[in-house]
Structure 1
């Protein structure tokens, strides 16, 4: 794919929309300091090993690539090409641009079968499969619910029961008809629309990783907005892997755990910043498409698995499913690791529930 806003690699490296610095990564370096103490952000470039970072804004967040400085020739150029891939995927998948392929699909598939690119078809097919695997907790057609709740505009409100019922009549990934021979997609309800926001960042990371692999770069950490992370190979200084911190869902400045990633992806879903209060209840922006109401019972859900796209989707799904059903899901899928954070017995406290997590790969931090 070609990037939406092409620019020369030379201009990119000079400053433009990217940043390249030699520094220690807060996401990639193990934390061994008192809680609340901020990490160092720069180091002496003569002290090895250190990390190089290349970043670009896309999908309403900052995407960044970290790699071991000096390990690979032309690593910065490879990182720029990987971010070009992210930008091209945003141009294809966004629902906020009328000319995107997904916007065209949403306009036309309500009337007829629409031929689409192979990669988009495969992504939608994957989403429909996850819809069935998660008992409809992950649903790419649930966008109308976000609209009536106001979360799509960050203006939360409690809709009338009739609004919720009407919206629910027209959602459900079973209403998306797939034809692999096209490949093509058709909607079985004229009011169905697809939004890939729940999997798009992770998918972009997976595709960016393919780009880096093709250039021979195989030790790095990629993230999109810090909530979606993909790590390959090793941080030279830390053979356990690339260490990623989990934050307290009610106090984002406090780290409560670390997970070391080796050839894995991680995604966290939570409603710590987007929520409204209604009749004494705290209602977050992650909605349960099966009820039309905000999901309750989990403060944050973190998933670790091989694919960043799947980690993205499943972190949302496990948040929606709640602790009991999430455990049942992880029992069926031992390849999926998860950390659920739920409310503790006393107000303001939390309980951490690890599911399938390798005890050698994660650790709680002192509170």
Structure 2
């Protein structure tokens, strides 16, 4: 069982990032000991509320007891709903289990759903909160690096279907995010590296200096050293800026956060959302492909694509189709899966491409033949 730090009296141990959405602003607290302090932080903001914890059977064994004790001590009358771990949990069947559990616990609209886990739990619990009693408040307590820097912020919730990832869901902002860096101690090295892909993404989108900083400091980040809090906070600030500019992904600004995801989601779907390729690994391959595709179209220098792939590989992440264990789906299957991407408009493929590191942009109406030609070259790497 993971040992959590006792509450810190030193306020400097916690970094606060504000997501200043009009009428629904919320805080992201980043630092050690936040699960132990969760009850006090939540009760101070939502007096009189009760809380239902939604978690998976892996995280429950490490962290649910500490969170339950913290919420109980603060008078939040916690109850817990435990679901299976893994991407396949983002399904209609498990969504029904969570919603039914909240109703059986007699939770009301003014109560709180507390998502304790990685991106799967955050997406699932947030979606359940958005539709139960026509909308309950929820708190994100992300326990993976990927969730702390990406999925816990911004209000995207949802589940997968056999036809694609995240195709059913809502925009439903959390009321508070508690990113406890101590919780990352329970992560396997593989899942920590997978989360790092989303950290690197923020540098590649529009912050070349941050990417250069990561090139120098990724070892300390992955070793959970002092650089980790800086990396998480910088990522959350970047995500917050984009969310405020384009909360519902209508202007195109928020679509930039999907750098690498068009390729990556297709690869995840083709491998069955299993352990062969977890989300951050798919994103890493997808980002390397997005830069190689950009270079093949003459948009960025080949040296930029090589630099991106070299950094991701140095962080222990896959960057090629050949890095995926087992057979990879044929090109037509991958293109068909890309056609189910949420950014597709009237059947036309949209990719996030780049003119250089820190210079990503939305490319609409990418010709399928160009994608086919590119994927053919990818088979040779």
TM-score by length of 1: 0.30
Larger helix proportion of the pair? 2
Larger strand proportion of the pair? 1
Structure with more contact order per residue of length (Cα contacts < 8 Å, sep ≥ 6): 1
TM-score by length of 2: 0.29
